[in-house]
Amino acid sequence: MDNHFRLDARGNATAATMFLMVHHAFRRELDRFPKALALLDPADTGQAALLAEHWRLFCWALTDHSENEDNILFPLVLSRAGHLAPVLREVEHEHEVLDRQMAELSMQMKNLSTSASIAEARRASEQLAWYLGRHLDLEEQHIVPVMVERIEPHELAPDHDGGEPENDPDEPPMWLLVTWSEEGVPREVNDAVVAALPPHFRDRMVQALPEWRAEYRDLVARIWRGVL
């Protein structure tokens, strides 16, 4: 079995598994956005709105991922592997570059009404795909081994005190975040991540997943019309 998502020898999720699932989602989406923009008709305002809305999901996810790295993951990595300090500084600098690139592309995604504006957004999405891919490669080369070998999954888990997670006002709904992060990931990896959840939360998730996945499949078919 391909173990790109770094399950342990017993098939359980490690501290790197969900991290790598999100990386997979970023690469997947930035492979699709340029293709979708290349197909977009400037007169198709409905499809443009779908792409712009989905872009907001991508931006939220990447921003949240980077902030969690800076505030939670990297201090842990530094405490277990101090020799990675220069790499972590480089990664944090790249987060700032990514923020600027996303802000620029976000402005462009708000105006997809002409062939020129669509072409500009497509070029920016291709540039972001190249830079982010390089960034993710750097993290996976240096940080993932430390996560697997020296960090336990519970050290990265949020503490909700047995209650519901607190959402920020811009956070996408849970059904969308869950299904977005698992798309294209092997079933055994998704199952391992769900199995690692607290029992009360896991049971509700298992019940909800079939409906969430059906809704997500419908959404994907509409967003990536002509791409998939």
Q: Has residue 163 got a pLDDT over 50?
A: no
Average pLDDT value for residue range 181-185: 97
**In CATH, which superfamily holds the domain spanning 17-223?**
nmb1532 protein domain like (1.20.120.520)
User: Mind listing the pLDDT tens digit for each residue in 66-115?
Assistant: 999 999 999 999 999 999 999 999 999 999 999 999 999 999 999 999 99
- pLDDT > 70: percent of the chain: 95
Q: By the 8 A CB rule, do 126 and 167 touch? A: no
The ranges assigned to domains in the chain are 17-223
pLDDT at position 160 is 47
pLDDT at position 169 is 82
Q: Has residue 43 got a pLDDT over 60?
A: yes
**pLDDT level of residue 3 (50, 70, 90 thresholds):** confident
pLDDT at position 157 is 78
